[in-house]
Amino acid sequence: MNNHLYNKNYFILYKNNNIRKNGDDKIKRVIIMLLLGVFIVGISISGCINNSTENTDKSQLTVKYGDIVTVDYIGMYKNGTVFDTSIESVAKKNGIYNPQRDYKPITFKVGDGKLIKGFEEGVIGMKKGESKIIVIPPDKGYGYPNKKLIVSFPRGIFNGTNITPEVGKVVLIRNYPGKIVKVNETTVVIDFNSPLSGKTLKFNITVLDIQRPTNVQSN
């Protein structure tokens, strides 16, 4: 699900942002330790998985931990508003289409922890071709807002860049997206919490393929 599992209005890549390295220690101390454990929904890891799988009748398989699963998904807020999807037509229909994104199913190994916990747990027991909607609370999704991820930086870190710090603007600091929440003459305060933190989410998931590694027992 790549980083596009951020709301399209939140996750904006500034290709030419050469933000200075002032405050690197603060970023490493505060952001890296806290954000690396946070799922940024949707990394396709199909190329990093051992492809040694059983030649099994897939119609009889139900997903279990250790399986390599390919799915399409539609991510929604509780009110049904779509914030992310792997399906291009759905993205266009819901006004979240990003022409820079390659819309395609995602492949992941169940239990690897590459995806949010609720998503991985949600596919357990599903069969190839099956679709269902799962509800994921914050504790099994993107967690809850963390005050330690709201960080103050000297305004000078933007000197020499093409960015004018403004409240509501999203910037990348050392490749971490954050939303500017406060600006004054000397300081810029940036919130690095995921915009999905604290939210209960729904996902409409369709299982397209199930691969069972030889070291995983069959059902």
Alpha helices in 17-111 (DSSP H): 24-27, 33-35, 88-93
Task: Tell me the C-alpha to C-alpha distance, in Å, between residue 128 and each of 27, 47, 60, 103, 155.
Answer: 43, 21, 9, 20, 52
pLDDT score of 189: 97
| Consecutive 10-residue averages of pLDDT for the chain (219 residues) | 36 28 45 42 42 58 96 97 97 96 96 95 97 97 96 93 93 91 96 95 98 73
Q: How far apart are CA 186 and CA 162, in angstroms?
A: 18
Q: How far apart are CA 105 and CA 207, in angstroms?
A: 9
pLDDT score of 144: 96
pLDDT score of 174: 85
Q: What is the pTM of this model?
A: 0.69
pLDDT score of 130: 98
Containing 91, the helix (H) or strand (E) segment is: helix 88-93
pLDDT score of 60: 81
- Which top CATH class is 38-144+195-211? alpha beta
Q: How far apart are CA 212 and CA 62, in angstroms?
A: 10
Structure-block tokens of residue 70: 């390919």
Q: How far apart are CA 5 and CA 11, in angstroms?
A: 9
pLDDT score of 56: 55
